[in-house]
Each structure stands twice: as C-alpha cells, then as structure tokens.
Amino acid sequence: MEQISKKEKTLEIARILNELYPETPIPLEHKSPYTLLVAVLLSAQCTDARVNLITPILFGRADNPFDMIKLSIDEIKDIIRPCGLSPAKSKAIYNLSQILIDKYSGEVPESFEALEELPGVGHKTASVVMSQAFGHPAFPVDTHIHRLAHRWGLSNGKNVTQTEKDLKRLFPKETWNKLHLQIIYFGREYCPARNHNFLECPICSRFGRKSLFK
C-alpha cells in the first residue's frame, strides 16, 4: 500500500467523495426544521428508509408542535412503533414539542445549546439540524462515520466525540455539512460494516487499514 501523508490522504479522500457524490440530498424527508428534528430523533437505531415510511403518516397528523401536542403520547407511540424505541421516542417528541411552544413560540431554536437541552436531542441530532436545517457548519458523527474514519486511518478516537474533533481538524469547515453526508452515502454503497470487499472499495483499497479486513 502506498505511503502517503495524512494531509495528502485527506485531500484524496475528499476528491473521491466529491467525484462520487457531487450532490448530497438530505436522506431524511422533511419540510421544516421541526419535521427534520423529529425525523432525526426517530432515526436513532433505525434506518432512514424506515423513518421515511413512517414520517408521512406522523406528519400527516401533526407536522408542527402545536398539532403534535394535540396527540397523546400513546397515539404518537402507535404511529412510530416500526422505528423502534417508541416509548422513549414518543415521550421525547411530545415533550420537546411542548417546550418549543412554551419557550420558542413553536419554532426550533437555531442554537446547539438550546437544541441539546430538548428531550431526546443529543449532540449528533443537534448537529444534523444545525447543518441541514439552518446551514451552520457542523460535522454530525454517527457510528457509521466513526467506523469509516477508523478504517481509513483518519481517527483513533474511541468514541464519536473524539472522532468528530479529529475530522474537524482534518477537513475545512466549509466542507463539513456536505462531507458528512458524502461519507454516509459512501459507507452504504461501498464500505458496509459487513461483507465489505476491501479490494473493490475506492477508498479502503488505497488507504484502509488492511488489518481490519480479515
């Protein structure tokens, strides 16, 4: 495998991703910051494809916090059950909707701190909303991006928090919002967790840690 500096590797990975994914549509269907927030919350331990099957049903009933709190937690739970973790997610959706009404006049706050104070909203979810709904530079790192960053030798982070810091240091801030989506798309198409073909992967075949692919 060729010897290459981390800076050169980073530039080449960015080039490959830009070539493969010049456009990066947001995977979760939504029509407002609120519907994106709810969709991201639902995506925890659930595929985007399944979330996109469920959200039209939920948002057909309530696509804003005022309508959402007219539903009971049990009604929300029944709708979102296929997404998994429905007891916790339904309570979070209802409670955050009430908070948005009480504190923010029904609007989603454009702030990391305010978002992370909402029920069921962690740093990753807040980062997705800040980047995809409001256009602020953010680098949401989920377990898939964490896995690929390790495979490609871009981070030795033991958790997503450290991996996020490493990736932010390596890539220019103006690329973060697009790049995290490009990595997600690449992982699904070329670099899955299981049954991964190291030799055919456009990135792993050049820069991957071969010891991880026995």
Enter the DSSP assignment of 214.
Answer: -
Report the C-alpha gap between 13 and 19 in whole angstroms.
10
Alpha helices (runs of H) in 69-175, residue ranges in sequence order: 73-80, 86-104, 112-116, 123-132, 143-151, 160-170
Active-site choice (78, 124, 158, 173): 124
Closest listed residue to residue 139, CA positions, set 200, 108, 184: 184
* Annotated catalytic residue, options 142, 165, 166, 210: 142
Active site annotation includes 124: yes
What's the sign of the alpha-carbon dihedral 181, 185, 191, 194? positive
Which residue, among 17, 14, 12, 25, has the nearest Cα to 189 in the 3D structure? 17
Residues with active-site annotation: 124, 142
